[in-house]
């Protein structure tokens, strides 16, 4: 397929907000793409170059793109900036400037290859080399192609669909209609190997038989299982029967991958060894990686976990699920999330590793010595886990297994919950003993119960920021005085507003939020967001910043598109470990409301 054809599909996708139309357009695109280009075509339509967890970053900012466009089209940077000020979109500027371009008919694979080469340029003089290569590519593209090449390079592709919509489109191409069982088969494979391009390629090549070649793999993050909410231990016993109860940690989710027989890639090896050796004076010669719940690799943040894994894990290959918790060396007490998350940085890793030592509290095992364990029962997985980790629940090392009780009695759950809160944890996790690991799912096989203050809403709500309002009075100096938040509705593929927030932030929080928001600001409101005009923001942002919000009340609302509104909301913390689609769900909001009013 010519990239110009792909660009025309992207234009169609941009022009419709309707999910069914988006799915049909994607299905038609999938039909037209050949087996050797379908993965690249899908990556590019989503705005990246490979599976999301391993895609290359362009590291090209708007100022640099202004220079690229000036060089590509033989105009001044001032002229590019003038057009950009009017349109608010450098993609549109490129489209206007490229109208006289001779058409070179670049293929999808051609453009993908050239973009990958640009992204990989590094070292001395890299900016000049990236500028020259990018300008050359744009000079070979027609106007519409140039528009989307620029947006892809700037990570500004906003077409209103996700990988799950691509799975819907794949279902449509396979049998021409909706099929929940088929969608589940595709989604189950995608959840254990989240490379949407690979899934599409295998299906394109061999139909459903191709899914057999999409398997769990060490080094490829698995979508983390999520927990539902229940309001009482009585409900737990009634709904779940015999359960495994353990502490709920207020840390950062860490999925650890290790394979003693797999060498790390040269680039990974250099970085991994650098951070481990910086602290421990040792090198890791085999693959060890860590990932967050939103598939981001974090190996460089946790050199101490990397070091401990080689010593404490009795396995050739393994994938573990757990929580990293900072702790106080003198008291042994765990630190709040906001202190632990300071480890999420690329610089001064060694210093912070010394200042904020970690415990890696493991609560599940997904893979062992070449075999997936997700279909085993929780009890079986716990038995295997206990044999794999030296020390187990007794501790004694950096990696520990979370302590637990196994019971079907409400009073034993309540007793463990009370002790857990007394020990400073934020609540408990309750898991059905005969359940498999449901990658990416949020079901009642896992339930979380957190500390409840009867004067406020019984739980916090994870939301994503859609934009902010200019400050007044004392906040005028920050240029921000409040922000609009929403939750993700997966069924409707939409962000639904739930409240405006103006409390819970210190002065430094307002400064931080303004900087973060301005770095991802847009001229228009997010395409896949349902926002009433009365909540229009002064500055819109791409839906990327996830925050945890507390509130005094939850009420029904005819104004907020979520159908509910948080009253007297306040910021608890920034959730940099969560993705925008990993917010509290509409179903959970309804449960919180019904629980409050006894319904």
Residue ranges of domains in the chain, CATH in brackets: 3-153 (1.10.3260.10), 227-450 (3.30.470.30), 461-596 (2.40.50.140)
What length does the chain have?
Answer: 599
Pairing label, strands 243-248, 427-432: antiparallel
Annotated binding site: 246, 253, 293, 323, 363, 442, 448
Give the number of other Cβ atoms within 10 Å of residue 86's Cβ: 9
β-bridge partners, 480: none
Q: DSSP label at 420?
A: H
Contact of 334 with 272, CB cutoff 8 Å: no
Residue 182 tokens, joined: 């088929």
> What are the φ/ψ torsions at residue 369 (nearest 5 degrees)?
50, 50
Inter-axis angle of helices 108-120 and 38-46, nearest 10: 60
- Each residue's pLDDT, cut to its tens digit, for the chain (599 residues) gives 999 999 999 999 999 888 889 999 999 999 999 999 999 999 999 999 999 899 888 999 999 999 999 999 999 999 999 999 888 899 999 999 998 777 778 999 999 999 999 999 999 989 999 999 999 999 999 999 999 999 999 988 878 788 999 999 999 988 755 567 888 899 999 999 999 999 999 999 998 889 999 999 999 999 999 998 887 888 888 889 999 999 998 888 999 999 999 886 644 544 444 444 444 445 557 899 999 998 999 998 888 899 999 999 999 999 999 999 888 877 777 877 767 666 665 555 666 666 778 889 999 999 999 999 999 999 999 999 999 998 766 667 899 998 899 999 989 999 999 888 888 888 899 999 999 999 999 889 999 987 654 445 667 899 999 999 987 776 777 889 899 999 999 888 899 999 999 887 888 889 889 999 998 988 888 888 999 999 999 999 999 999 999 888 888 999 999 999 998 888 988 888 888 998 999 998 998 888 766 55
β-bridge partners, 430: 245, 447
DSSP-H helix ranges across 121-254 = 126-139, 143-153, 163-175, 180-192, 196-206, 233-240
272: left (phi over 0), alpha (psi -120 to 50) or beta: alpha
Contact of 37 with 182, CB cutoff 8 Å: no
Is 248 an active-site residue?
Answer: yes
Q: DSSP label at 428?
A: E
Residue 231 tokens, joined: 């309001």
Annotated binding site for ATP: 246, 253, 293, 323, 363, 442, 448
Contact of 53 with 295, CB cutoff 8 Å: yes
Q: How far apart are CA 505 and CA 483, in angstroms?
A: 11
Pairing label, strands 461-469, 539-541: antiparallel
What DSSP assignment string belongs to 298-338?
A: -GGG-HHHHHHHHHHB-SSEEEEEEEEEEB-TTT-PBPPHH
Output the pLDDT for position 283.
Answer: 56
| H or E element that contains 60 | none
Q: Is 111 helix (H, G, I), strand (E, B) or coil?
A: helix
SS (H, E, C) 520-574: CEECCCCCCEECCHHHCCCEEECCCCEEEEECCEEEECCCCCCCEEEECCEEEEE
Active-site hit among 114, 202, 204, 248: 248
Say which residues have a Cβ less than 8 Å from residue 576's Cβ, sequence separation at least 6.
341, 344, 546
Residue 400 tokens, joined: 């520990």
Q: Which of 387, 386, 370, 382 is nearest to 436 (CA)?
A: 382
Q: DSSP label at 107?
A: B
Q: How far apart are CA 21 and CA 583, in angstroms?
A: 25
């Amino acid at each position: 397929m010519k990239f110009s054809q792909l660009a025309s599909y992207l234009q169609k996708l941009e022009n419709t907000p309707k999910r069914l139309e988006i799915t049909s357009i994607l299905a038609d695109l999938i039909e037209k793409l050949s087996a050797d280009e379908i993965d690249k075509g899908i990556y590019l339509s989503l705005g990246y170059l490979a599976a999301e967890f391993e895609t290359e970053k362009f590291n090209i900012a708007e100022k640099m793109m202004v220079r690229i466009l000036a060089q590509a089209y033989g105009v001044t940077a001032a002229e590019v900036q003038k057009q950009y000020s009017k349109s608010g979109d450098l993609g549109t500027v490129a489209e206007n400037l490229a109208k006289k371009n001779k058409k070179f008919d670049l293929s999808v694979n051609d453009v993908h290859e050239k973009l990958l080469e640009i992204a990989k340029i590094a070292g001395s003089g890299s900016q000049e080399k990236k500028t020259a290569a990018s300008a050359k590519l744009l000079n070979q593209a027609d106007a519409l192609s140039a528009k989307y090449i620029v947006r892809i390079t700037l990570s500004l592709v906003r077409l209103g669909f996700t990988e799950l919509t691509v799975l819907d489109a794949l279902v449509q191409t396979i049998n021409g209609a909706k099929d929940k069982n088929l969608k589940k088969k595709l989604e189950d494979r995608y959840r254990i190997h989240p490379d949407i391009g690979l899934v599409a390629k295998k299906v394109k090549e061999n139909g459903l038989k191709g899914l057999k070649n999409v398997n769990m793999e060490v080094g490829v993050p698995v979508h983390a299982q999520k927990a539902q909410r229940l309001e009482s231990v009585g409900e737990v016993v009634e709904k779940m029967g015999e359960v495994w109860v353990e502490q709920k940690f207020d840390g950062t989710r860490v999925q650890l991958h290790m394979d003693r027989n797999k060498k790390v890639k040269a680039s990974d090896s250099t970085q991994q060894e650098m951070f481990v050796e910086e602290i421990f004076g040792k090198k890791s010669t085999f693959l060890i990686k860590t990932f967050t719940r939103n598939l981001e690799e974090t190996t460089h943040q946790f050199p101490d976990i990397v070091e401990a894994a080689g010593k404490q894990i009795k396995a050739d290959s393994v994938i573990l699920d757990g929580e990293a918790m900072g702790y106080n060396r003198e008291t042994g007490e765990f630190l709040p999330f906001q202190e632990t998350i300071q480890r999420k940085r690329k610089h001064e890793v060694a210093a912070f590793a010394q200042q904020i030592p970690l415990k890696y509290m493991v609560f599940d095992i997904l893979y062992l010595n070449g075999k997936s364990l997700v279909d085993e029962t929780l009890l079986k997985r716990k038995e295997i886990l206990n044999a794999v980790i030296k020390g187990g629940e007794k501790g004694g090392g950096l990696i520990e297994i979370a302590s637990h009780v196994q019971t079907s009695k409400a009073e034993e759950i309540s007793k463990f919950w009370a002790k857990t809160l007394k020990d400073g944890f934020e609540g408990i996790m309750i898991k059905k003993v005969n359940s498999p690991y449901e990658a990416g799912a949020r079901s009642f096989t896992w339930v979380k119960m957190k500390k409840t203050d009867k004067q406020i809403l019984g739980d916090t709500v994870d939301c994503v920021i859609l934009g902010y309002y200019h400050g007044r009075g004392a906040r005028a100096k920050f240029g921000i005085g409040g922000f609009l938040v929403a939750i993700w509705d997966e069924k409707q593929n939409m962000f639904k507003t739930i409240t405006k927030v103006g409390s819970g932030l210190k002065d430094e929080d307002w400064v931080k939020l303004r900087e973060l928001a301005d770095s991802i600001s847009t001229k228009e409101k997010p395409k896949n967001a349902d926002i009433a005009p009365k909540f229009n923001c002064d500055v819109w942002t791409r839906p990327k910043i996830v925050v945890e919000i507390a509130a005094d009340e939850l009420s029904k609302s005819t104004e907020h598109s979520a159908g509910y509104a948080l009253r007297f909301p306040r910021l608890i913390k920034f959730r940099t470990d969560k993705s925008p689609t990993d917010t509290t769900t509409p179903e959970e909001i309804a449960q919180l409301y019904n629980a409050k009013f006894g319904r």
